[in-house]
Structure 1
Amino acid sequence: MSTLSSANVIRSEPVKITSAMLSAAVITILLFAAMQQLIKSNTAARPEPVQAEPVQLYEVAEDSEIIVRQTPPPMPPAQQQPLPKPLPPVDSTPNISPGPVSIAPVQLPQHGGPDNGWTAADRGATPLVRVEPRYPTDAARDGISGWVKLAFTIAANGAVTDVSVIAAEPARVFDREAIRALRRWKYQAKIVDGVAVSQPNMQVQLDFSLQTD
């Protein structure tokens, strides 16, 4: 009984091996077939590539028309035009004209002597040239009038020297013009014993007044 069992076992082993090999071959063939089928299906399902049209991101500017510049006509000859006549300047100062500058008599010192008079060889100073002072523009514009009292010396040659202001009303308004005018005065110098001498301590007052229209 055991001998039969062993023989049966020996006989059944090749059969099992053959069956296993056949099964493996079948499975392998089936796998290859499935893979081939998958490859075919993927190839058939893949769509043909579509060529995409180019996308234009900006508009290409068209070439502008060629403009041919024409030569400009020649310039006409320049015509000489008469220059406009200049207008007279407009005076912005008020319509105030300075009045005459009055000159007070020059105070001459008295001649002293035993007979309290002049000798034949003596002669007092005699004015030759008197220059009126210029009226200051600011004072004329503001309507200011006044006077200046001056002290001076008549030199031996008749010139006026050592001019100084004794008093003025108003102060420092007419001083400069009064001094400038007095320095231009001319005298015939005083004669003592036939000789020209200087004469100090002379005084004069210059008045400045306005004339309104």
Structure 2
Amino acid sequence: MASIVRLLVSMPLAAIITFLLFTLMQILIFEDGVPLDDAGEELRISISEAPEEIQARVRDANIDQVEDVTPPPPPPAIERARADQPTESLSTIVGGLPEFDRPSLTGGDISFNVSDRDAQPLVRIPPQYPPRAAERGLEGRCSVEFDVTPDGNPTNVRILSCSNSVFERESIRAVERWRYEPRVQDGTPQWRRGVQTQFDYNLDQ
């Protein structure tokens, strides 16, 4: 019951206070308001103005006004010494040239074919020492004869003499591995018959 009485009393009091505050605010607004000037300065902004012309300074470059440049003096001339020509003849200075007898080119035995040559060895591999002879301490010598084909290959290898037959096989095998420049006559390779060679078998080699 008491709360209802307080509610009934506070409501009219709150309404009165609200009305007074509203009235006070309205008075303050109208008294402190400052009227705005009706006519203000107009602010004009223009972005289409023509650019200001700038006078560029032009340098006067007249060719006629260029000062003449004096060229440097030429280098001094160098005198070239000339050698005096000899007044005496060459034969007096050097001496007389010896006289030689002219060879006779009419002989029939002279051959001018420089391509003619005998068989020349290109590859000569020495024979291997036979193992049986080395074990027994044998030494010896073998003479071999063979022919050289137009291709430069040894053929028809044969033993002429041998101190021990144990050296014959290695001597023949060594010659068969050799290569020759063939014999040439009149520019044509020819057979070379009866080429001989000798092998010495020494243990201290």
Larger RCO, structure (CA 8 Å, separation 6 or more): 1
| TM-score for both structures, normalised by structure 2 | 0.45
